[in-house]
């Protein structure tokens, strides 16, 4: 049994704490904010698979606002609709979701200290840094730096109420260089509108341009977030007297294509808690299970970032020609590109144009 000090009570930190507790360790959590989940830094859109992976910890349905059945993708003017006919993701209340995970960690035995910002004087034989992209744990112990980030700006808008069960994503390097823009419905009247771009860009002009494109006017408070777009080269180490592990955004375990971090972050956080005293096992296992998918997200992000809008539009046309809307709807996979890029993709791409001609 070891003493484990988790820095950060977001989803990754809380799941790491619960996992360590279930291994028999003594756990305390330090959270810099007074209430876990506040302020809300992230959009509340999480894949169904990502939420289901937490079923042994919480019932995500208590925090769900709206199911999403698919997406309407705008490839610089060419639209592609992916309709799974059933929920593939949920818009959730991130504040209550994060708070519930932290409360669950407390219920299982963690000592939660809110309003405690830790940058030194770490406690415990094992430290798990789940303290976001600007991780103080990573800085203090000189982990390799994350060099590529996106910055996002989002706000609430009144929208047209059309297709309330579909995310709208706008892929344009003119509008949001290196990243994308979105509208996520919360109900038939209100939605979240946001945009992101690779640093050192400023997302506010892009958000105003998105407002002109959609006709939706920003309302209320503007929220900003920093998103890592690559994994750290190393996420664990052992010193003379303690072990240190990074999980979630602190480790860069985030989908570079969308900025989504809950599925990979919490999945890796489980491993961090399980292997809190064995950093070598943690490093090996999370990379074995998840690094290939994360790398594919990163490669897709980098390739997309190099395309002019004419190339993005052409890519959208090709996806339509080869029936990728139907294929992606059937796969219903938002997190793992390795589950999409298999032999069935080639078979579908070869048959789709002929099937369409027969239909016509």
Q: How far is CA 124 from CA 26, 242, 346, 357, in A?
A: 9, 8, 51, 66
CATH architecture of 3-64+93-147+230-304: 3-Layer(bba) Sandwich (3.50)
The answer to whether 339 touches 331, Cβ cutoff 8 Å, is yes
Span of 14-18, 35-39, 205-209, 242-246 with lowest mean pLDDT: 35-39
Question: Strands of 89-92's sheet, edge to edge?
Answer: 45-47, 89-92, 64-68
CA distance 129 to 272: 10
**pLDDT for residue 203 is more than 50:** yes
**pLDDT for residue 164 is more than 80:** yes
What's the number of CA atoms in the CB half-sphere (13 Å) around residue 219?
A: 11
pLDDT, one tens digit per residue, over 299-314 is 999 999 999 999 999 9
Provide the residue ranges of all domains of the chain, joining segments of one domain with +. 3-64+93-147+230-304
pTM given for the model: 0.93
Higher local confidence (pLDDT), 1 or 306? 306
pLDDT grade for 347, boundaries at 50, 70 and 90: low
Percent of the chain with pLDDT over 90: 79
Which residue has tokens 């996420």? 235
pLDDT grade for 150, boundaries at 50, 70 and 90: very high
Tell me 217's DSSP state: P
Average pLDDT of the chain is: 92
pLDDT, one tens digit per residue, over 245-274 is 999 999 999 999 999 989 999 999 999 999
Question: Can you read off the two tokens belonging to residue 163?
Answer: 């297709």
Which residue has tokens 């890592």? 228
Which residue has tokens 């003493």? 3
**pLDDT for residue 331 is more than 80:** no
Which residue has tokens 């570079």? 256
């Amino acid at each position: 049994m070891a003493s484990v000090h988790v820095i950060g009570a977001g989803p990754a930190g809380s799941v790491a704490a619960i996992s360590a507790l279930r291994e028999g360790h003594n756990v305390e959590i330090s959270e810099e904010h007074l209430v876990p989940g506040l302020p809300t830094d992230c959009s509340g859109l999480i894949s169904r698979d990502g939420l289901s992976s937490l079923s042994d910890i919480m019932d995500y349905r208590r925090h769900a606002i709206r199911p999403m059945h698919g997406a309407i993708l705008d490839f610089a003017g060419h639209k592609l609709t992916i309709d799974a006919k059933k929920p593939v993701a949920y818009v959730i209340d991130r504040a209550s979701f994060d708070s519930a995970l932290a409360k669950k960690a407390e219920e299982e035995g963690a000592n939660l200290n809110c309003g405690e910002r830790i940058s030194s004087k770490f406690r415990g034989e094992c430290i798990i840094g789940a303290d976001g992209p600007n991780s103080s744990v990573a800085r203090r112990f000189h982990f390799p730096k994350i060099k590529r980030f996106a910055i996002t700006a989002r706000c609430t808008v009144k929208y047209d109420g059309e297709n309330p069960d579909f995310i709208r994503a706008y892929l344009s390097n003119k509008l949001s260089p290196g990243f994308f823009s979105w509208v996520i419905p919360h109900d038939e009247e209100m939605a979240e509108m946001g945009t992101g771009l690779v640093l050192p860009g400023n997302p506010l002009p892009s958000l105003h341009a998105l407002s002109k494109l959609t006709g939706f006017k920003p309302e209320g408070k503007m929220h900003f977030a920093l998103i890592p777009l690559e994994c750290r080269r190393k996420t664990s180490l052992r010193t003379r007297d303690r072990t240190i592990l990074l999980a979630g955004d602190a480790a860069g375990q985030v989908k570079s294509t969308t900025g989504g971090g809950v599925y990979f972050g919490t999945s890796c956080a489980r491993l961090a808690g399980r292997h809190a005293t064995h950093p070598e096992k943690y490093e090996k296992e999370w990379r074995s299970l998840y690094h290939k998918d994360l790398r594919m997200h990163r490669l897709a992000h980098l390739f997309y970032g190099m395309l002019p809008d004419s190339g993005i539009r052409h890519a959208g046309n090709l996806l339509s020609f080869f029936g990728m809307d139907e294929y992606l709807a059937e796969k219903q996979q938002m997190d793992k590109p390795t589950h999409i890029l298999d032999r069935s993709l080639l078979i579908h791409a070869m048959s789709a144009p002929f099937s369409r001609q027969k239909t016509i």
